[in-house]
């Protein structure tokens, strides 16, 4: 199974915010740090904010912070919500698969997808940022003096 680009960006942003401490970077700074275009990051941050994973404050002293739910919540739950409930294969695409009425593959793939999510259920974003990942995340987007 391959995650959508949006889910990949969301996980990278959450992990980056998990290591920022008291610092509240802007969406632009986080986008630069995790290597994604600002417009994509802005859409993802909006979705994460709606999900209660990220808090965004505007203006002077504003920026992004990871909420406690975002920090300690299940990565499996987060990925499920970001990916949606869609099937792994397009049984109902146009044209629909001629086997869909009697197919056993669709159910097997749904079980495999759930097993994938279940493997992520016990993991938190905070756990993903332990060594050696945390120090690398902290170094992203930092500029060295010229």
CB 92 within 8 A of CB 100: yes
CB 64 within 8 A of CB 56: yes
pLDDT value of position 61 = 77
Q: What percent of the chain has pLDDT over 70?
A: 97
Please write the tens of the pLDDT for every residue from 52-93. Answer: 999 998 877 789 999 999 999 999 999 999 998 777 777 788
pLDDT value of position 142 = 58
pTM of the model: 0.86
CB 108 within 8 A of CB 146: no
């Amino acid at each position: 199974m391959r995650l959508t680009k949006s889910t990949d960006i969301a996980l990278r942003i959450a992990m980056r915010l998990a290591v920022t401490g008291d610092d509240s970077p802007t969406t632009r700074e986080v986008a630069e740090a995790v290597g994604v275009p600002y417009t994509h990051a802005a859409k993802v941050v909006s979705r994460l904010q709606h999900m209660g994973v990220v808090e965004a404050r505007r203006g002077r002293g504003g920026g992004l912070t990871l909420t406690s739910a975002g920090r300690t919540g299940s990565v499996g739950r987060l990925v499920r919500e970001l990916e949606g409930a869609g099937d792994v294969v397009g049984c109902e695409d146009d044209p629909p698969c001629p086997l869909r009425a009697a197919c056993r593959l669709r159910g097997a793939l749904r079980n495999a997808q759930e097993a994938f999510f279940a493997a992520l259920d016990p993991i938190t974003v905070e756990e993903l940022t332990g060594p050696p990942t945390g120090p690398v995340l902290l170094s992203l987007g930092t500029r060295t003096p010229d």
